[in-house]
Amino acid sequence: MKILKLALISVGIFFFFFAGIAFLIPSSIRISKVVDISCTPAALMEQISEPANWKNWHPGLETAPFLYVNGKVEGYILQNNQKQFLIVSDKKEKEIISKLKFNKKEIISGWRIVTVNDAGSIGLQWYMNFELGWLPWEKFASLFFENIYGSQMEKGLNRLKAILET
């Protein structure tokens, strides 16, 4: 009986410690990568504003089918059976915003021109915004987002840079 009581108390203390640390992790997280590209702003915007061009540089979209809206390519179907889509949600002068939709969740992602230098170099930022729930395991999982998504974002930006600088 003493061992069972000790085990229950230990599990309770561990749970409250785990939950307490999870509350220190913010519920909104942004991952961001930036690259300098030597090209014109028009050439850069042509690549990032047209989803049909994303196949050339966006990791994971090489074989994904297009998502057509009113006969125009507006995104990609990532997994048809699970209803996962990557679509353009907004186009601005120096920013393109997309949404990754799956099940009932959305991840906002975007590309923004942050600097234009006199030497013909453009700073392009790729960001992803994550809205986490209040559950401790969701918040702890966010600690790995940089390793999961960050390396793919860098890979995509480097591919885009190689395309535009050749």
Burial (0-12, 13-18, 19+ Cβ within 10 Å), 158: middle
Q: How many CA atoms lie within 13 A of 126 on its CB side?
A: 25
Whether the pTM exceeds 0.75: the reply is yes
Alpha helices in the chain (DSSP H): 2-22, 41-49, 136-141, 145, 151-164
Instruction: Break the chain into its structural domains and give their ranges.
Output: 26-164
Phi, psi of 50 (to 5 degrees): -105, 110
- Tens of pLDDT along 87-134? 888 888 889 999 988 877 888 999 999 887 777 789 999 999 998 888
Q: To the nearest whole number, what is the mean pLDDT of the chain?
A: 87
What would the DSSP string read from start to end of 31-60? EEEEEEEES-HHHHHHHHH-GGGGGGTSTT
- Tens of pLDDT along 56-100? 999 988 888 888 888 888 889 887 665 788 888 888 888 999 998
**Rounded Cα–Cα distance for residues 15 and 121 (Å):** 51
* CATH 1.10.1420.10 corresponds to the domain 26-164: no
